[in-house]
Chains A and B, each alone.
Chain A
């Protein structure tokens, strides 16, 4: 456990010592801020009143940005260790392969957690503008959904990054896998009469249809957690097999 925390801390700090963290925070706050402001201005000018107490205007864009940002957060994690040769250091330190993989993932997750927390200023602003304030339910479930989906995305990224020493390759492949889970399954679910298996596999449906609407379903949460655990296991196996290559 202690090793996981040591590695997670190191990764978390690394985001801030490079400009990655600041760049993403900047882009995210800018985009979400512009969209939020625009929706406020829109409802004020169209209806002459403050916007509806709905945080979807914040959560939607944050989610969309995370689809693209998550692979960027994870592309460095293990790929860079392989490129620098520091993987040799980690694999000869008394650290289990699983601890390494989970630590890396946790570092990136804490980073996303930080970024997502920063966007809470927008719901807070909306809350001030509306009376009696925003609807807390969808906000909590929506933010929980954001974090759960990020957990899955980041676990995909960590697993993929253990396969490549090239960060670009890590990004592209991670993004590809995310696209499959985020869009392709959703499209397949709508073919013909609708395929319930595909609909279940579709990461996005649990988010958009349930969590963003204020509904936390057990199967959605379990699915996200299982996927995360599954990809972290794959990542561990990949690091283990690396020793045999």
Chain B
């Protein structure tokens, strides 16, 4: 449904997305996860035909986003991050306008249907300016699905909502995702975990990891990171630990605490402990660090050079220090 090949977008000198390649199947909910400014919105805008990429190819529903932009736009429902609404229109007028632009037949029936989907039937005549943030968000979703698009692109659909509304919108997305491809961006990890079939972690315009939320977690839990704490003098400890074969990185967390990154799949605690004691340091604590999706995210999107935490097929290690973004 969505095929993206080597997509790159430059804003002047700044590279917003860099050689992105991914795909999404029919009926899949693909989560786009990344910190602010990672390139999520840019990618989505390109896929909706809002702006062209600098280079690369993307096909949505089988149509090229550049050459067949109108065909793509007919088949995509898009909700931008700031839900674009006309405040002085009523909900009905707004949806009617959107439906008319898409040449839908039986507009009024269809509006009733989508209003039911987003639980807004009783607010059809309300002016948009009088709606709460959560309701506006739902009108945004209604607008995006009114033409029964094959592909639904939602940019931060739950941002700014209260917890009850978030649950609501998530359920709605899960429901909608049953029969269409959904690409949604979020920076809330638990959200991705809850609704997405697959997660794409994107940082500085590049894909840092891609897998199901469960597998991402499983791969990393309990391996690859060790927490280490020593007492008193810690001069030269970093260098000592670094010498242990299999250790990739050592971060000082202050107060004698360190986080040691090791190659995945090996428990290096005995070796590290021996090296620390042998070096004459007072070892207080050594323990494996379990990783939540939160940690994976933090690790993958951290600015410092990264240990190759996820080295597997399908994973691209994209952690150069000299990111083009600084150009």
Q: Which A residues are closer than 8 A to B by beta carbons?
A: 2-3, 6-7, 10, 13-14, 17-18, 84-96, 243-244
In the complex, per-residue mask of B96-118: 1 if CB is within 8 Å of any chain A CB, else 0:
01101111000000000000000
23 contacts between A and B (CB under 8 A): A2-B100, A3-B101, A6-B97, A6-B100, A6-B101, A14-B88, A18-B88, A84-B87, A85-B80, A86-B84, A86-B86, A87-B84, A89-B78, A89-B143, A90-B101, A92-B45, A92-B50, A93-B98, A93-B102, A94-B70, A94-B73, A94-B102, A243-B51
> B-side interface residues toward A, CB under 8 Å?
45, 48-52, 70-71, 73-74, 76, 78, 80, 82, 84-89, 93, 97-98, 100-103, 143
| Residues of chain B lying within 8 A (CB to CB) of residue A18 | 88
- CB A52 to nearest CB in B, in angstroms, measures 45
Complex contact B88–A92 (CB within 8 A): no
Of A3, A86, A92, A244, the contact of B78 (CB 8 Å cutoff)? A92
Partner of B101, one of A88, A95, A244: A95
Task: Find A93's partner among B73, B86, B87 (CB 8 Å cutoff).
Answer: B73
| Nearest CB in chain A: distance from B51 CB, A | 5
Q: Is the CB of A91 within 8 A of B49?
A: yes
Contact of B51 among A14, A86, A244 (CB under 8 A): A244
| Given A94-B70, A244-B51; A89-B84 close (CB under 8 Å) | yes
Contact B97 A10 (CB under 8 A): yes
Q: A88-B80, A93-B102, A94-B102 are in contact. Are A244 and B73 (CB under 8 A)?
A: no
Q: Is A85 touching B52 in the complex (CB atoms < 8 A)?
A: no
On chain A, the residues within 8 Å of B82 by CB distance are: 85
Using Cβ atoms and an 8 Å threshold, which residues of chain A touch B103? 2
* Whole-angstrom CA separation of A90 from B78 in the bound complex: 11
For B70, give its contact among A14, A89, A96 (CB under 8 Å): A96
Contacting pair B98 A89 (CB below 8 A): yes
Are A85 and B73 in contact, CB atoms less than 8 angstroms apart? no
B76 to chain A, nearest CB (A): 7
Q: Please state if A84 and B102 are interface contacts (CB–CB under 8 Å).
A: no
Q: How far is the CB of B92 from chain A (nearest CB, A)?
A: 13
Q: How far is the CB of A201 from chain B (nearest CB, A)?
A: 36
How many A-B residue pairs have C-beta atoms within 8 angstroms? Tell me. 63
| Least CB distance, A19 to chain B, in whole angstroms | 11
A88–B71 CA distance with the chains assembled, in angstroms: 17
Q: How far is the CB of A115 from chain B (nearest CB, A)?
A: 20
| CA gap between A84 and B129 in the complex, in Å | 12
Residues of B within 8 A of A243 (CB): 50-52
For A90, what are the chain B residues with a Cβ–Cβ distance below 8 Å?
Answer: 101
Which residues in A have their C-beta under 8 angstroms from that of B88?
A: 14, 17-18
Contacts of A92 in B (CB 8 A): 45, 48-50, 73, 76, 78
Smallest CB gap from A243: residue in B: B51
List B contacts of A10 (CB < 8 A): 97
C-alpha spacing A106/B199, complex, angstroms = 45
Residues on B with C-beta less than 8 A from A13 are 93
9 closest A-B pairs by beta carbon, nearest first, are A86-B84, A92-B48, A94-B73, A6-B100, A89-B84, A94-B74, A85-B84, A243-B51, A93-B101
Which residues on B sit within 8 Å (CB–CB) of A95? 73, 101
Are B102 and A89 within 8 A (Cβ)? no
Provide the residues of chain A in CB contact with B76, threshold 8 Å. 92
B148 to chain A, nearest CB (A): 14
A243 to B51, CA, bound (A): 5
Of B50, B89, B93, B101, most buried by chain A (CB within 10 Å of CB) is B101
The CA of A236 and the CA of B73, in the complex, are separated in Å by 18
Q: Which residues of B contact A244 (CB under 8 A)?
A: 51-52
Contacts of B78 in A (CB 8 A): 88-89, 92
From A3, A17, A84, A91, B50 is in contact (CB under 8 Å) with A91
Q: Determine the chain A residues whose CB is within 8 A of the CB of B45 once the complex forms.
A: 88, 92
| Minimum CB–CB distance for B82 against chain A, Å | 5
Cα A200 to Cα B88 with chains together (Å) = 43
A18 CA to B89 CA, complexed, in Å: 10
**For residue A88, which residues in chain B have a CB less than 8 angstroms away from its CB?**
45, 50, 78, 80, 84
- Please name the residue on chain B nearest to A80 by beta carbon: B86
Q: Hey, which chain A residues are within 8 Å of B98, CB to CB? A: 89, 93
Residues of B within 8 A of A86 (CB): 84-86
Set of chain B residues within 8 Å of A85, measured between Cβ atoms: 80, 82, 84
Task: Name the residue on B nearest A5 (C-beta).
Answer: B100
